[in-house]
Amino acid sequence: MESAGWGREKPWRRRIWLFFVFKCLSWCPSFTFLLRSHSTARPRPRRFSATHAIDTNAQDQLAPPAVASTSHSSVADEHLTFLRDVAAVPEATLPSKELPHFISLLQRRGYEVVSPSPSRGNFHPFFIPLARNTSADESNPSSYLGLLKWPSAPEDMPLPVVRPGPSGVSLVSFDIRSLMKRFAVEEDLRGDETAGETVQLVNSLLNEGEGYELGDVHRLGLGLPRYLALKRVGRFPDVYEALVDLHLAKGDTYSAMVASEKYYKEVKGWGRPLAYHADLMATHRGNTEVARDAAKVALKLPIWTTAADDAELRRTVDLAADRSYDEYRDSFLRRSRDPRTEEIQRGRKLKYVVALERAAWLMDAMMFGLKSKTGGEGPVYVPWSAIKQQLADLYTEGGAPEMARFVLT
């Protein structure tokens, strides 16, 4: 028998949180704007797949090849200069202390460091490349790892670590230090010779009481996903999705649903967790109403946080079941082109707010291919570089010249 709070006996309670959030987003345009401006053993039948999934059988993970890291300090200086002078990252959140060590750990895991500015090219306008996985195809955007510069983030908000997809961006970690601590746990679990050194390094960057004790992951014997979640090492989307998979592998769809709910409550500001939950509810619980509500909320957030590629986006649109793919694209494109002159003249809207909203709508339209009609077969991927000048103009009009300069660099 399922819990009375979330079980089959009272299905309406399952939807109350999602319904409340959806209504808030629908009724309050300013709240929607804030969300957009501040906001990843058994075959998996779901159509969503983690872009940076971990091996749930972590004991079998192989140590990555060692790569020389003698130049990581000078490379980090180049990235720090870019973050400070081009991306205008506040000193309070500039990762001056941890970035050189983070780059060193990435090199040890088989990554090669890339220069931040020349390599941005057709990447997402907010993405700052750090390194590329040398074992992956260079043409695959997901082989890169980097940082994300939000357009209007609070000054004390750390830079998230992200991985770009063909169109959207996937969250890897909310901050560098959490990911470094995870690296230390993984090295210890694999039995790497460097584990002790990495643990000592990571602990020197963390506050008292936040460090990792060598051997702790072995003592608990939970496996990597459960350990990272139980010990609250960090909020990692792939860990939440791995926990869902563990429950599904046991045939426990109820526990999988609970884990998925925790996922979207913990990883706020990103559409992927809600899109993932919608897919889970439709596929494994047969609850199309909850799936529809979750998908609608996901599509109220920045679309590039909701789907990494066209297939994921189409799945979420199908689950929302309120508009077609083309209708969503046309709606975003129309809003991005509307100067809303009358609203500004009547004092209903501030000019700079309209400009920033139009920038957000333009990026949403870009996720749908930007064009008014798809035409032909397969997804239409227009490079992000196609809108960078237009995006910069809107940020300039919106009183964010630093952001305008950043997206053009």
pLDDT in tens, 205-235: 999 999 999 999 999 999 999 999 999 999 9
Model pLDDT, residue 34: 41
Rounded Cα gap, residues 171 and 276, in angstroms: 13
Domain boundaries, the chain: 1-30+240-322, 60-222, 323-409
Q: Which helix (H) or strand (E) holds 171?
A: strand 169-173
Asked whether 46 and 280 are in contact (CB, 8 A), the reply is yes
**Residue 13 clears pLDDT 60, i.e. is over it:** no
Q: What is the pLDDT of residues 41-64, one digit of tens each?
A: 333 434 454 444 454 343 333 233
Q: Which residues of 11-47 are buried (b: 16+ CB within 10 A; e: fewer)?
A: eeebbebbbebbeebeeeeeebbebbbbbbeeeeebe
Rounded Cα gap, residues 145 and 58, in angstroms: 21
Model pLDDT, residue 18: 53
From residue 103, alpha-carbon distances to 68, 95, 165, 177, 409 in Å are 11, 11, 21, 12, 22
Asked whether 356 and 398 are in contact (CB, 8 A), the reply is yes
Cα Rg of the chain, angstroms: 22
In eight-state DSSP terms, residue 350 is -
Helix (H, G, I), strand (E, B) or coil at 164: strand
Share of the chain above pLDDT 70, in %: 79
What does the block give as tokens for 368?
Answer: 């749908």
Over range 224-253, report the average pLDDT: 97
**Residue 194 clears pLDDT 70, i.e. is over it:** yes
Q: What is the 3-state secondary structure (H, E, C) of 123-159?
A: CCCCEEEEEEECCCCCCCHHHEEEEECCCCCCCCCCC
Model pLDDT, residue 379: 57
User: What pTM, to 2 d.p., does this model score?
Assistant: 0.82
| Mean pLDDT, the chain, whole residue set | 84
Over range 345-374, report the average pLDDT: 87
Rounded Cα gap, residues 336 and 387, in angstroms: 12
Report the range of poorest mean pLDDT among 119-128, 164-173, 396-405: 119-128
Helix (H, G, I), strand (E, B) or coil at 227: helix
From residue 330, alpha-carbon distances to 271, 313, 336 in Å are 20, 15, 10
Rounded Cα gap, residues 115 and 105, in angstroms: 17
In eight-state DSSP terms, residue 40 is -
Model pLDDT, residue 75: 75
